[in-house]
Amino acid sequence: MNMQEDTPLKSIQLDSVPFPVHQVHTLIIGSGTAALKAANRLHQLGIEDIIIITESLKGGTSYNTGSDKQTYYRLATNTKEPDSPYMMAQDLFQGGAMHGDIALVESMGSAEGFYYLSSIGVPFPIHTYGGYVGYKTDHDSRERGCSIGPYTSKKMVEALLQEVNRRDIPIHEHTEVISLIKNRDRIVGAVAIDRKAVLDETYGLRLYMAENVVFGVGGPGGIYEDSVYPACHSGAIGLALEIGAEANNLTESQFGLASTKFRWNVSGSYQQVIPAYISTDSDGNDPREFLQPFFQTTEELCNAIFLKGYQWPFDVNKIMNGGSSLIDILVYREQVLLGRKVFMDFRRNPSAVPGSHAFSLDAVGTVARTYLERSDALAETPFKRLQRMNPQAIALYRDHGIDLETEPLEVAVSAQHNNGGLSVDLWWESVNIKHLFPVGEVAGTHGVARPGGSALNSGQVGGERAARKIAGSYHGRTVSWDDFEQVAVDVLKRMYTIAKHGVATNVQSQNREVEALAELGAYRRTYRQRMSKVGAMTRSKTDVEAELKAAELQVDSFRHIQVDTRYLLPKLFQTRHLVLAHQVYLSAIAAYLSQGGGSRGSALVLHSEGKTIHDQLEAFWRYLPEQEYGRHTIMSTRMEHGSVVHEYIQCRAIPDDDFWFETVWRDFLSGTYLQT
């Protein structure tokens, strides 16, 4: 690994303490697939003065998440049905609340991103004739999905990181950015804390002066209690929100079923083998199947479970008439409202729906039966079907101490992905802070719904676009030391003050360190539980508005939180931007609901005068349908002078340009194509 430290040539002094300043052309924050793609392409395009900052090379979502066969979504090149970037862009765009030109960029760049990964060693499967085989994923009209199994993004990280090391790009690991530095309308650097240096006189604080910042910090996993984001990943969008970076679609996240003992999506094969769903009391007693009373026939129940495989995210459009997303509601009801534990049991087939026939593979629905037959998986139990269809899915859980052959798998409805994020232009540059390039999940390029696997593609396209823009337009040096120092001093002072005051000096007992960690943990659980309670799958205007006020008070109370050891300072700083982020997200949700925004995507808006979901559910399970006009607009959000401001903008259409070769060639040679 290339973890060498460059020797800082300058420093900034506070209280006679010199704080080192690393000067670099492009600072890359994060080590996920999008950030690493940007680093490699920048180096390839001639920008070699790069530093990657990361808390942990193996600590991000890219390295630690997946599903039964984690999907990469790209242009279909191996199907009898024709495909084109415009067809793919339409599938991306029709999810709603997404800009058409962004959709076209992601589709145009998908093949390049996919083949780049293949060229550096990601082993996507090919058949005898050299085609990259694909399959349909959710919200997909063609067979654009591709996978190498549960660890697709992990293998992407490994291949991209190997390329980073081959190029000898410096990596500052165990270093966490705690504040971005802005000079007027452009980014000029960041303040970070070095975990290895928290005991020295600087409290581990380091400054980075940069011409450009690639911001690849992932999604807001740390603001939810019920989450399938890896526990080691928290996200850092709050750092950009704090300096006024515009965001969009913060209301739009994906929630779905995931295992809890080991955080993992239970999509795809896990559902397609049609396991039984059971619940128990909190002590593991009183086991019972709970889905059956809500379906008319055993076939309808089995079909819903099967479809949950590629209709994995909760979707309000799939809850009625025995739809697959009714399962999410019933799981949520058992767990949250009835206080029971919920499990998927691969040892047994679902029991019969009262008054209907017993389980039979001949009566699970035509789609399910055909799929299992073509997969050579017509075995007698879900486990044996999974063993034949996807043994890697079984091995994954065994690797984490869970044996699906002998024990049920505990699951819950969990936060999985934020479709919104920071607003970017066609080159993944922030729309209102120049030289800041959000890439990966932190970039809000998706709409209400998106095809499964499109996030991996978006990250690769975003990393490519950011690298091209920087190398083509921002390759020079325009930030002077004076420009940097005049704003960096104030930011450093704030962070230094937090560090000094955040470490308690009056230690009463040897157990105070544990007590301080418990206090910090309780503070973090408060905002996480708040988001999972009112800002996740189920929402209501009254509850969100009440919790938003509590969120604002909690942000204000952060100044009273202290820890008793400097080793906890990184977690304290992390808490600072996470609690701010959760307030901004709740503010966006409250603004959407106050405009009469109804249920859409992965969010069910409960309303006393809404539509009844199921006559067997409690009376309050009524939902407000979506206002269709909302699909044509995007809510933008930004912080101004301590307040959160929202406004609606119209979605831009998919471009219909006539790309004449001679004109495009001229613009490419002159570099004007980089201007948006």
Q: Is the pLDDT of residue 159 over 90?
A: yes
Nearest residue to 369 (alpha-carbon basis) of 426, 319, 303, 432: 303
Task: Evaluate whether 303 touches 367 at the Cβ level (below 8 Å).
Answer: yes
In the chain, what is the straight-line distance between the N-terminal and C-terminal CA atoms, in Å?
Answer: 37
CA 217/CA 35 separation, integer angstroms: 8
- Which one, of 399, 347, 477, 321, lies nearest residue 151 by Cα? 399
Element (H, E) at 661: helix 661-670
Average pLDDT over residues 211-236: 95
Q: How far is C-alpha 586 from the chain's CA centre? A: 17
Q: How far is CA 479 from CA 7, 485, 491, 662, in A?
A: 20, 10, 17, 36
Question: Predicted confidence band at 354 (pLDDT cuts at 50, 70, 90)?
Answer: very high
DSSP 174: T
- Mean pLDDT across the stretch 241-245? 98
Instruction: Look at 139 and 247; give whichever has higher pLDDT.
Output: 247
How far is CA 54 from its chain centroid? 17
pTM: 0.95
| Range in 6-20, 123-137, 262-276, 338-352 with the lowest mean pLDDT | 6-20
Residue 381 in 3-state DSSP? coil
Instruction: Answer whether residue 186 shows pLDDT above 80.
Output: yes
Q: What is the pLDDT of residue 511?
A: 56
Average pLDDT over residues 88-111: 96
Q: What is the pLDDT of residues 272-296, one digit of tens each?
A: 999 999 999 999 999 999 999 999 9
- Domain segments of the chain as ranges: 10-254+420-471, 255-416
Phi, psi for residue 382 in degrees, rounded to 5: -55, -40
Tokens of 666: 């001229």
* Tokens found for residue 312: 């994995």
Q: Are the folds of 10-254+420-471 and 255-416 the same?
A: no
Kindly report, residue by residue over 472-505, the tens digit of the pLDDT: 999 999 999 999 999 999 999 999 999 999 998 7
Q: Which residues share a beta bridge with 645?
A: 638
**Cα dihedral angle (470, 473, 475, 481), rounded to 10 degrees?**
-100
Residue ranges of alpha helices (H) inside 84-209 are 85-93, 100-108, 110-119, 152-166
Write the CA distances from 37 to 28, 34, 453, integer angstroms. 11, 5, 17
Distance between CA atoms of residues 523 and 558, nearest Å: 9
Q: How confident is the model at residue 183 (pLDDT cuts 50, 70, 90)?
A: very high
| Cα–Cα distance list, 665 to 37, 153, 618, 671 (Å) | 26, 35, 63, 10
The residues pairing with 413 across neighbouring beta strands, listed in sequence order, are 257
Structure tokens at 590: 């409250």
| pLDDT for the residue numbered 138 | 82
pLDDT at 505: 76
Query: What are residue 343's DSSP bridge partners?
Result: 278, 410
Output the six-digit token pair for 63.
């390295």
Q: Which two tokens stand for residue 610?
A: 């809404």
> Beta strand 633-640 with 643-650: parallel, antiparallel or unpaired?
antiparallel
Architecture of domain 255-416: Alpha-Beta Complex (3.90)
Rounded to an integer, what distance in angstroms lies between the CA atom of residue 350 and that of residue 334?
17
The most distant pair of C-alpha atoms in the chain lies apart, rounded to whole Å, by 81
Task: With cut-offs at 50, 70 and 90, classify the pLDDT of residue 666.
Answer: very high
Q: How far is it, in rounded angstroms, from Cα 122 to Cα 156?
A: 6
Note the pLDDT tens digit of each residue in 2-58: 655 566 779 999 999 999 999 999 999 999 999 999 999 999 999 999 999 999 998
Please tell me the predicted confidence (pLDDT) of residue 157.
97
Confidence of residue 569 (pLDDT cuts 50, 70, 90): very high
Structure tokens at 488: 């960096």
CA–CA separation, 258 and 280 (whole Å):
17
Q: How confident is the model at residue 576 (pLDDT cuts 50, 70, 90)?
A: very high
- The yes-or-no verdict on residue 202 having pLDDT over 90 is yes
Q: How confident is residue 154, by pLDDT bands cut at 50, 70 and 90?
A: very high
CA distances from 91 to 40, 76, 141, 268, 421 (A): 29, 13, 7, 20, 20
Confidence class of residue 574 from pLDDT cuts 50, 70 and 90?
A: very high
Is the CATH number of domain 10-254+420-471 3.30.460.10? no
